[in-house]
Structure 1
Amino acid sequence: MPRNQRRSSGLSDMELSKELVRVLRHGKYDLAMDCNGFVDVIEIIEAFSRSGFAQISCDNIKRIVETDRKGRYELKMDRSQWKVRATQGHTVQVENPDLQLLTDAGKYENIIHGTKMSHWNSIALAGLHRMNRTHIHFCIGLPGDSQVISGMPPRCDVAIYLNVPKAMRAGLKLYESKNKVILCEGDHKGRIHPKFFRKVVHIGVGEMPRSRRRSSGLSDFEISKELVRVLRHGKYSLEMDCNGFVDVAEIIKAFAQNGFAQISCDKIKRIVETDRKGRYELKIDRAQWKIRATQGHTVQVQNPDFQQLTDTGKYENIIHGTKMSHWNSIALAGLHRMNRTHIHFCIGLPGERGVISGMPSHCDIAIYLDVPKAMRAGLKLYESQNKVILCEGDHKGRIHPKFFRKVVHIGVGEIRFSNPDDYQD
């Protein structure tokens, strides 16, 4: 598969739609966005062209918007220029996204948040949290119900029904987007407490008891997931020092305030000591245990104690793992750190000697970095405590495809691609 084989034919509509989501919801390419979230279509086309996407026209983008069944986008003509925006789903702040405040608690029979069963125990205790997004999302029914356009991914198997009158009485504000997604910023911590859940249904199975885990507490796996949310992504907005450390006592207190029972310092220490991927680091500071994530942050950490990699030959391979469904976009536009502070690499394939972390198990594409070439171009690589290699990318947070030494479809073979000399920076 030559790297530039798609330059003449362009991306498929699905791939183009995914790229529009990255631009309009998440700020990829750092294009100028007005206070309502609109971006000039011409600016998007020029950014796509600079990133190697060929034959993307205004008509292509208009077709994507007009045929999108979920109503993710909105087009308008402004001073003879087409502009487009995402109707909801943002991680970037939009000053005035034209959402309609929902004031009638009975306007919709059901307002539902969809999630996965693997997340339920944590949600039952700590509630829903908007995480990196600006809002928590709800739909006005289950997928397939009348009037439901968007708001619940198809992989969801748990439906959380919001008690709308109770939430409104408590001061939670609900908004409706153009595509009938209901949005809520949550409370001052960005969450919706479980007391506002009217009922919870395991789709296709039946209704679930909300508080079934309070007496026994969470499993180690579930606590580890919650620690990731706290230490990498800033859940509960706990105080974090310049090196990314948070007081364990403060974490335990936050867990208790959010309904997590029987979480102790010893339990957290055990999770850190037994974590095979080395995600966490513990230390004693002034007789207080503190903990941090070793990498993977979306929150900014001033001085995370990474070691800069200066020896280009220290590791034989430095590899980024991804999925085949992302490859065509990456081959043209490169790797992008998105909401994280760094792009992640591992020092080999999972299972190889010395490899601790850095590549999710679901990856089927391995992108090998040309380390000498990347360093000569000024890209800085850092090594975390658990041997994950990190790179902020260039000024736009990306690593250009010209720095890929080779790309392998794991278990299949090498994906051959040509040098993108025609690529415009």
Structure 2
Amino acid sequence: MAARERGRGRREEPREVQISKYMSYVLRHGAAKEGVKMDAGGWVEVDALLSLKKMASKKVSEEELKVVVTTNAKKRFALKEEDGVLFIRATQGHSLDSVKSANLLRKLTLDDLPNYPVVVHGTTRDNYKKIQESGGLSKMGRNHIHFAQGLPKDRVVSGMRNSSNLFIYLDTQKCLEDGLEVFVSENGVILLPGDERGFLDVKYFREVVEE
């Protein structure tokens, strides 16, 4: 009885949050499972997304989807129109092997570095202990390791959780000089696939700061 009462008292998430979360799931991780055709750049037809059972049951319209995209604080989604057909994709955070970095992101070179003076990964004290024990950062089932271009106090839009209290600053120049690929997404997140294991060694940590 008590459990049921607690369940009844739980506040339901706002409609736009529910829609955004489901879109993130499909566009980052679940397209194949949901039966949605996606190209190597992560693009899917908006009509195909809207026809999915969960979207159709909520009667999500194209106009409402556009509002969810444009009002998303972290700019998680992008839209484009080709030959009268509207497409949508997640800007980063994918775990699907079919989505290729070259089709989704912009690759950085040494010449780009002056435009990216701060590249930092946010974590927690407890997680950092595990990072030290393993010898570096892992992409953890996703296609990339995520970095931001500043700290939460700098009002970073995307690339780091606001709950982060320990910050790993990347030696981006050393990464590039050693042949590691570094990309930037449409919403400004810096992304590294790491080495052949999807791993980034601690030798590429320029500085670690705890706050």
TM-score by length of 1: 0.45
Tell me which of 47, 68, 71 is aligned to 1:271.
68
Whole-Å separation in 1 of the counterparts to 2:64 and 2:191: 29
| CA–CA distance in structure 2, aligned partners of residues 377 and 202 of structure 1 | 58
Pair 1:325-2:123 in alignment? no
Instruction: Report the equivalent of 1:388.
Output: 189
The aligned runs of 1:36-55 (5 Å cut-off) are: none
Q: Which structure 2 residues correspond to residues 20-419 of structure 1 after superposition, within 5 A?
A: 203=3, 205=5, 219-235=15-31, 236-255=34-53, 260-300=57-97, 301-302=99-100, 303-310=102-109, 311-332=112-133, 333-352=135-154, 355-410=156-211
Q: Counterpart amino acid of 2:131? A: I
Counterpart-to-counterpart distance in 1, 2:4 and 2:157 = 38
Q: Which has the higher contact order (CA 8 A, sep 6+)?
A: 2
- SS of 1:374's equivalent in the other structure is helix
Does the residue aligned with 1:225 lie in a helix, a strand or coil?
A: helix
Cα deviation code 1:224-270 (max 9, x no counterpart): 000000000125131001211111111111035x7632211111100
Asked if the contact 2:137–2:201 (Cα under 8 Å) also holds between the matched residues in 1, the reply is yes
| 1:222 to 1:202, Cα distance in 2 relative to 1, 3 A | farther
CA deviation after TM superposition for structure 1 residue 206, in Å: 5.2
Report if the CA contact (8 A) 2:42-2:104 is conserved. Answer: no
CA distance in structure 2 between the aligned counterparts of 1:405 and 1:399, rounded to whole angstroms: 12
1:351: how far off? 4.1
Residue 202 of structure 1, CA deviation: 7.7
The letter of the residue matching 2:128 is: W
Between 317-326 and 307-316, report the one with greater CA deviation.
Answer: 307-316
Query: Would the alpha carbon gap of residues 304 and 360 (structure 1) be closer, same or farther in structure 2, given more than 3 Å must change?
Result: farther
The amino acid across from 1:306 in the alignment is L
Cα gap change, 1:330 to 1:206, in 2 (>3 Å): closer
1:352 Cα deviation from its structure 2 partner: 2.0
1:402/1:227 CA distance change after superposition, 3 Å: same
Q: Using a 3 Å threshold, how does the CA distance of structure 1 residues 391 and 207 change in structure 2: closer, same or farther?
A: closer
Encode CA deviations 1:315-367: one digit per residue, 9 max, x unaligned: 221001112111112123200001100000001112426x3210012211110
Q: Distance in 1 between matches of 2:85 and 2:181?
A: 34
How far apart are the structure 2 equivalents of 1:207 and 1:347? 39
Q: Which has the larger radius of gyration?
A: 1
> Is the partner of 2:207 in helix, strand or coil?
strand
Which stretches of structure 1, 4 residues or longer, exceed 6 Å deviation after superposition? Answer: none
In the TM superposition, residue 271 of structure 1 has moved relative to its aligned partner by 0.6
Unaligned stretches of 5+ residues in structure 1: 1-200, 411-425
Specify whether residues 368 and 206 from structure 1 end up closer, same or farther in structure 2 by C-alpha distance, changes over 3 A only.
closer
Secondary structure, aligned partner of 1:289: strand
How many equivalent pairs are there? 202
Counterparts of 1:307 and 1:205, CA distance in 2: 50
Query: Greater helix share, 1 or 2?
Result: 2
Aligned AA for 2:138? Answer: H
Work out the CA distance in 1 between the residues paired with 2:182 and 2:120: 12
Structure 2 CA distance for aligned equivalents of residues 405 and 204 of structure 1? 50
* Contact 2:136/2:201 (8 A) holds in 1: yes
How far apart, in 1, do the equivalents of 2:20 and 2:93 lie?
14
Cα RMSD, aligned residues only: 2.3
User: Percent identity of the aligned residues?
Assistant: 36
Instruction: Give the deviation of 1:204 after TM superposition.
Output: 6.2
Offset of residue 372 of structure 1: 1.4
What is the rounded CA distance, in whole Å, between the counterparts of 2:39 and 2:78 in structure 1?
Answer: 14
Counterpart amino acid of residue 342 in structure 1: H
Residue 29 of structure 2 aligns to which amino acid in structure 1?
Answer: H
Distance (Å, rounded) in 2 between the aligned partners of 1:285 and 1:394: 35
Counterpart secondary structure, 2:20: helix
